[in-house]
Amino acid sequence: MSEKKDFLRKIVEEDLKNGKYKQIVTRFPPEPNGFLHIGHAKSISLNFGIARDYGGVCNLRMDDTNPTTEDMRYVEAIKDAVAWLGFKWNGEVRYASDYFEKFYEYAIKLIKMGRAYVDSLSEDEIREYRGTVKEPGKRSIYAQRSVEENLELFERMKKGEFKDGEHVLRAKIDMASPNMKMRDPLLYRIRHATHYRTGDKWKIYPMYDFAHPISDYLEGVTHSLCTLEFENNRELYDWVIENLELKPPRPYQYEFARLNMNYTVMSKRKLLELVNKKLVSGWDDPRMPTIAGLRRRGYTPEAILNFCEQIGVAKANSVVDVAQLEFAIRDDLNKKAPRVMCVKEPLKVTIENYEGYEEIEAPYFPSDVGKEGTRVLPFSKTVYIERSDFEENPPKGYFRLTPNQPVRLKFAYIIRLKEVIKDKNGEIIELKAEYIPNSKSGQDNSGIKVKSAIQWVEESSALKAELRLYERLYRAENPQGIEDLNPDSLKIVKNALIEPWIVKTEQERFQFERIGYFFKEPVDYSKENPVFNQIVPLKDSWAKKSKSVPKEQPKIKQKAVNGGKSGEMAKLTKEQEELYENYLKLGLSRQIANIFARDKELAGFFDEALKCVKTEAAAVANIVANDVARVLKEGIEIEPKDVATLAKLVQEETISNKIAKDVFEIMIKEGKEPLAIVQERGLKQISDPKEIQKIIDEVITDNPGQLKAYKEGNKKLFGFFVGQVLKKSGGKANPRIVNELLKNSLTQI
């Protein structure tokens, strides 16, 4: 169960405690007029989740009272989606259409009670008579019909004696109600249409507001959860149940905020339009926000459910950033998807001084994931690397292979360029290189420094693969319709190369090193013709693009960062002098101001970081001058904004300085945002004095010897106690508060 209880779970708990219900019954009631989308996943996770958490059951009910749009194909798709998410519905799938007879009987009951009448106004007249929010409506003259007349007309409506729209059945409530829904709402209408389950049997169909509460009641539902748009319908829901004088227990309706997400449309009508106009390949197109689409794309049920849990349940509408969904899948796959080699745009490299063949054992996971296992990578004289991992005329800060810069083939050797081969158009078609024999990964004693390690595949064993790369389906943050579609949402790479293990294994999801997470295309993949869907790139490339942060930024010179002893440094120029003074004014130390004054790129990174997030300059500068400088040298990309956010987390005492170091390492390894790392790993600093005092008390009890020595005057032991408390808290206790509390504790004891 989620630790934080939402308002619905609180209601359910209260109802169980008070004995209002013996068992909780919820239901998920989709209309089978389309595939389910990620918004429905939220409702599923909520309804099934509550039932699971409180020992109840959840029904799956097709809300199929509208004969013109529903289809058995959608019923199957809905069952598939719910089962794939991992939920089991209570008993058989239920259908509102199975209750048609019951609805009819209840309608007769209302007529007999004088609480419903057959109205014969036209649709336009009904609307006119209803009034407005400001003015009361007026009742139709037909409301005066006798019970007998109503029963007779209703019977004839049922028999199909009238045309669509000629008559309707309405509840007799209050034409002056401030709630428009209560102004004699429609209960039944005539529809000459074939229903996908009941065929032509029925000529009248119940309205949602009549069918829904009765369906809930018949199934013994206790909590009928729906989205906020139905808030005004609640009064009518209650009216139906109360006026039919149904035997308790009865269900109650509660509303929660629907899921809205940027760059996404979440209306079955609009999704159907995409399918019908063939703007996507179908309901399960991997770009669709449908559960079937996400599934085909390679999303896991766990990621979707984690996402639903993270966004939570509230009573106010809001728009969730689609990046949060992407975060959830990266987070899940980071722990599940083995790292493998794929080259998107292969460039041939002939290693002239290598003869023969060998097999290199390479791990599936980086060490911090904590999962075991290796596979074998063939290696020979001819390999392919990513075209973009070689630059003949590298821009500053380019850390991969260049004419003067060697690079490591990941898990294998360092190679150095010998010659560039071009075709007659000047296009690079091959590189000749040499390898450094004693540079093999793990046993490297070559002494050669490289700035990065790149992916590669060996020629004779590599397999050709197709990659389908997806971007967001819509380019507008708040898309309205097909005019907002992103024309670049699908890109197909035909001639990628992959390492052989990928096809041999039964595994379906992988991290292609330095590219992204990929999934064996469920329909089109075969061993002979491997096709992969990109589930999600490694980093949020969209955010980067829209903020137009240059890809290789910033470029840093090692020399400037190390600084050397100040005595050995060249004098600052006039311009640098000015910068230096400015950095001092910002509160930076002399040493760091000196580094930034000399190093434009590092300073640029710092300035950018400060612009992104408001926080203490010195804290940001410290991280930039130390940690950022180090990793940029290794060719690792890092966002100024993330660094500033990290500094802010420390400044706000959300995390300690020590934990910040760990977070930074995870940031660069996994390309995640600091806040996400802190939340997900529970690294939040403990600042609650009560909690810290408890740890202090334990430490003091555990160390009587030291305590005695301290009391006898060995004040140096104060540091020992601080250290013990921090250690015991897993580095999470706020050192400032530990210091304060410890002073008192040690003197008072």
DSSP state letters, 307-343: HHHHH---SS--EE-HHHHHHHHHHHHHHHSPEE-EE
- Beta-carbon contacts of 269 under 8 Å, excluding residues fewer than 6 positions away, are 34
Rounded least distance, CB 486 to ligand ATP, Å: 21
Determine the 3-state secondary structure of 535 from DSSP.
strand
Helix (H, G, I), strand (E, B) or coil at 128: helix
CB of 80 to ligand ATP, least distance (A): 15
Q: What are the φ/ψ torsions at residue 550 (nearest 5 degrees)?
A: -60, 145
Partner whose footprint covers residue 195, from ligand ATP, Mg ion, none (CB < 5 to 8 Å by kind): none
Closest to ligand ATP by CB, 290 or 594: 290
CA torsion sign, 216 to 222 to 227 to 232? Answer: positive
User: Least distance from C-beta 40 to Mg ion, angstroms?
Assistant: 10
Out of ligand ATP, Mg ion, none, what residue 224 binds, judged by CB under 5 to 8 A for its kind, is none
Task: Work out how close the CB of 41 gets to ligand ATP at its nearest, in angstroms, rounded to a whole number.
Answer: 8
94 scored as a contact of ligand ATP (CB under 6 A): no
Closest to Mg ion by CB, 31 or 665: 31
Tell me the β-bridge partners of 376: 361
Q: Which residue has the tokens 């005329």?
A: 393
Binding mask 49-88 for ligand ATP (x = CB under 6 A): --------------x-------------------------
* Near Mg ion in 139-158, by CB under 5 A: none
What do you get for the CA distance between the two ends of the chain, in Å?
Answer: 41
Establish if 42 lies at the interface with ligand ATP (CB under 6 A). Answer: yes
State yes or no: residue 212 binds ligand ATP (CB under 6 A).
no
Per-residue CA distances from 451 to 315, 425, 626, 635 (Å): 51, 31, 17, 6
Structure tokens, 212: 């829904």
Stretch that binds Mg ion, among 26-34, 37-45, 365-373, 663-671 (CB under 5 A): 26-34
669 binds, among ligand ATP, Mg ion, none (CB under 5 to 8 A by kind): none
Q: Under a CB-based contact definition with an 8 Å cutoff, are residues 564 and 594 in contact?
A: no
Contact between 259 and ligand ATP per CB under 6 A: yes
Residues in the chain: 749
The CA R_g of the chain, rounded to the nearest whole Å, is: 34
- Scan residues 337-356 and list those touching ligand ATP (CB under 6 A): none
40 binds, among Mg ion, ligand ATP, none (CB under 5 to 8 A by kind): ligand ATP
- Identify any residues that bridge with 360 across adjacent strands, giving them in sequence order: 377
Contact 399, 554 (CB under 8 A): no
> Is residue 30 within the footprint of ligand ATP (CB under 6 A)?
yes
In the bound state with ligand ATP, the residue whose beta carbon lies nearer, of 151 and 323, is: 323
Q: How far is the CB of 95 from ligand ATP (least distance, A)?
A: 13
Please, what is the minimum distance in Å from the beta carbon of residue 500 to Mg ion? 49
- Which is nearer to ligand ATP, 63 or 309 (by Cβ)? 63
520 interface partner picked from ligand ATP, Mg ion, none, CB below 5 to 8 A per type = none
Contact 737, 687 (CB under 8 A): yes
Piece in contact with ligand ATP (CB under 6 A), picked from 38-46, 105-113, 601-609, 738-746: 38-46
CA distance 113 to 134: 31
Instruction: For tokens 């304060």, name the residue.
Output: 740
Distance in angstroms (rounded) separating the CA atoms of residues 27 and 60 = 6
Q: Among residues 46 and 383, whose Cβ is nearest to ligand ATP?
A: 46
Which residue is associated with the tokens 């600093």? 685
Which residue(s) pair with 388 in the sheet?
none
Contact 551, 637 (CB under 8 A): yes
Residue in 27, 268, 408, 509 annotated catalytic: 268
Residue 301: contacted member of ligand ATP, Mg ion, none (CB under 5 to 8 Å, by partner type): none
Binding ligand ATP (rule: CB under 6 A), the pick from 31, 238, 444, 607 is 31
Smallest distance from ligand ATP to CB 261, Å: 8
3-state SS track over 351-415? ECCCCCEEEEEEECCCHHHCCCCEEEEEEECEEEEEHHHECCCCCCCCCCEECCECEEECCCCEE
Q: Least separation, in Å, of the C-beta of 499 and ligand ATP? A: 41
Contact 251, 222 (CB under 8 A): yes
Per CB under 6 A, does 554 bind ligand ATP? no
Query: CB-wise, 43 or 140, nearer to ligand ATP?
Result: 43
Kindly state the tokens that stand for 658. 């020590």
Which is nearer to ligand ATP, 322 or 409 (by Cβ)? 322
Q: Which two tokens stand for residue 704?
A: 């009587």
- Binding part of the chain for Mg ion, among 24-32, 45-53, 141-149, 686-694 by CB under 5 A, reads 24-32
* Least distance CB 227 / ligand ATP (angstroms): 4
Site residue total, ligand ATP (CB under 6 A): 15
Q: Which of 13, 31, 231, 653 is catalytic?
A: 31
Nearer to ligand ATP among residue 273 and residue 459 (C-beta): 273
**Of 157-165, 260-268, 465-473, 738-746: span binding ligand ATP (CB under 6 A):** 260-268
The answer to whether residue 268 is catalytic is yes
263-271, 370-378, 660-668, 688-696 -> range binding ligand ATP (CB under 6 A) = 263-271
5 sits in the region (left: phi over 0; alpha: psi -120 to 50; else beta) called beta
Q: Looking at residue 684, what DSSP letter applies?
A: P
Question: Minimum distance from CB of 27 to ligand ATP (Å)?
Answer: 9
Rounded distance, CA 64 to CA 149, Å?
A: 30
SS3 733: strand
20 is catalytic: no
Is-contact 549 543, C-beta < 8 A? no
Write the CA distances from 668 to 416, 553, 674, integer angstroms: 26, 15, 10
Place of tokens 């918004």: 39
Q: Is 293 helix (H, G, I), strand (E, B) or coil?
A: helix
| Piece of the chain touching ligand ATP by CB under 6 A; list 36-44, 343-351, 358-366, 447-455 | 36-44
Going by C-alpha positions, the residue among 365, 592, 623 that lies closest to residue 631 is 623
Q: Which residues contact 66 (CB under 8 A, 6 or more apart)?
A: 31, 33, 205
Identity of the residue, 31 or 444, whose beta carbon is nearer to Mg ion in the bound complex: 31
Q: Does residue 40 touch ligand ATP according to CB under 6 A?
A: yes
Q: Which helix (H) or strand (E) holds 657?
A: helix 657-670
Interface with ligand ATP (CB under 6 A), residue from 8, 24, 29, 612: 29
Q: Which of 20, 52, 102, 258 is catalytic?
A: 258
User: Which residues, at least 6 apart from 87, have a Cβ–Cβ distance to it below 8 Å?
Assistant: 44, 48, 58
* Cα–Cα dist 252/235, whole Å: 11
Q: Which of 52, 172, 191, 258 binds ligand ATP (CB under 6 A)?
A: 258
Q: Is there a contact between 518 and 509 (Cβ–Cβ < 8 Å)? A: yes
Residue closest to ligand ATP (Cβ) = 39
Q: Which of residues 265-304 bind ligand ATP (CB under 6 A)?
A: 266-268
Among residues 39, 213, 671, 674, which is the contact residue for ligand ATP, using CB under 6 A?
A: 39
Examine residue 226 and tell whether it contacts ligand ATP (CB under 6 A): yes
Residue 47 CB burial class (10 angstroms; 0-12, 13-18, ≥19): buried
CB of 245 to Mg ion, least distance (A): 28
Is 31 one of the annotated active-site residues of the chain? yes
> How far apart are CB 193 and ligand ATP at their closest, in Å?
19
Q: Does 227 bind ligand ATP (CB under 6 A)?
A: yes
Q: Which does 300 bind (CB under 5 to 8 A by kind): Mg ion, ligand ATP, none?
A: none
- By beta-carbon distance, which residue lies closest to Mg ion? 31
Q: State the nearest-atom distance from the C-beta of 177 to Mg ion, in Å.
A: 24
- Which sequence positions are flagged as catalytic? 31, 258, 268
Residues in contact with ligand ATP by CB under 6 A are: 29-31, 39-40, 42-43, 63, 226-227, 258-259, 266-268
Residues in contact with Mg ion by CB under 5 A are: 31
